[in-house]
Structure 1
Amino acid sequence: MTKTTSPDSRSASRLIDARIRELGDWRGEKLARLRALIREADPKVVEEWKWRGVPVWSHDGIICTGETYKNVVKMTFAKGASLDDPARLFNASLEGNTRRAIDLHEGETIDEQALKALIRAAVALNKSKRRR
């Protein structure tokens, strides 16, 4: 389950809940499913709310964000360019040196096992950088 030891993380979780309800369409459903997969992949994940309304998931640093736009739900990995992506989930923000993103459109599905592996890899990378 999401780590909620601080008032800030409890508040962030409530704000994310509210965003999902507020969307009320496929984007809310998609964001809720991505959130569930993140929690399954990393039960110690911390939920945050940053930059005027962006859900953020962290563990020893930012793992990813979940942004919603009119036609896409975008999952941006903070250090995505450093992650192996054998399933080729990354389909956006490919030109940068740091971040990588996955754009999901209405009706699209994602390889859930590959996504969980990517999340675990992002956590491992954060932990390795923290140890240095």
Structure 2
Amino acid sequence: MTEARNLAEMDNPARLIDARIAALDGWQGAVLARMRNWIRQADPGIVETVKWRKPSNAMLGVPVWEHAGLICTGETYRTTVKLTFARGAALPDPSGLFNASLEGGTRRAIDIRAGDAIDEDAFKALIRGAVALNLSRARG
């Protein structure tokens, strides 16, 4: 019974994301946890998933947030936490949070470095805008 429960826990996206955050040292874990919290606050209909599980990321995969389609992913690198919005190019960004992947025609990303301040209200507005965009495409 314990083995079956352990396997189920390893397939639970929320627990995998918890494990990913716990595995990060210092500022990166804190930033990813804060951004995850804001994503969930921005839209209660957000579903957490984990994709691209492989040995090189200790089978923890990449956190993904979805609502009527992919909203964004949360990846960590040596010097950044990167939140990539699947349809970011179609979203208004009056606060200028998008600072990476600007040359692409579809995606946009926010690279957060140690000590960077992110405007919570502007970030939540991006999440809500991405959800609205997905919902409009689902209806159309």
Q: Same fold (TM over 0.5)?
A: yes
Pairs aligned (count): 125
Q: Could you say what the CA RMSD is over the residues aligned between the two structures, in angstroms?
A: 1.3
2:124 matched residue in structure 1:
116
Is the counterpart of residue 25 in structure 1 residue 33 in structure 2? no
Q: Distance in 1 between matches of 2:14 and 2:39?
A: 13
Q: Distance in 2 between matches of 1:17 and 1:24?
A: 13
1:41 matched residue in structure 2:
42
Say which of 65, 69, 74 aligns to 2:73.
65
Letter aligned with residue 93 of structure 1:
S
2:64 matched residue in structure 1:
56
Task: Describe the SS at the equivalent of 2:99.
Answer: coil
C-alpha distance after superposition, 1:32-56 (max 9, x if no partner) = 0000000010111000000121100
Which has more radius of gyration?
2
Q: Distance in 1 between matches of 2:74 and 2:109?
A: 10
C-alpha distance after superposition, 1:62-87 (max 9, x if no partner) = 00000000100000000000000000
C-alpha distance after superposition, 1:94-117 (max 9, x if no partner) = 000000000000011100000000
2:85 matched residue in structure 1:
77
Structure 2: state its 5+ residue gaps: 1-7, 54-60
Task: Describe the SS at the equivalent of 1:74.
Answer: strand
Q: Distance in 2 between matches of 1:118 and 1:91?
A: 13
Q: Distance in 2 between matches of 1:131 and 1:43?
A: 20
Is the counterpart of residue 90 in structure 1 residue 98 in structure 2? yes
Structure 1: state its 5+ residue gaps: 1-6
Q: Which runs of 4+ in 1 moved over 2 A?
A: none
Letter aligned with residue 11 of structure 1:
N
Per the normalisation by structure 2, the TM-score is 0.87
CA-CA distance at 1:18 after TM superposition = 0.3
Task: Describe the SS at the equivalent of 1:90.
Answer: coil
CA-CA distance at 1:24 after TM superposition = 2.8
Task: Describe the SS at the equivalent of 1:116.
Answer: helix
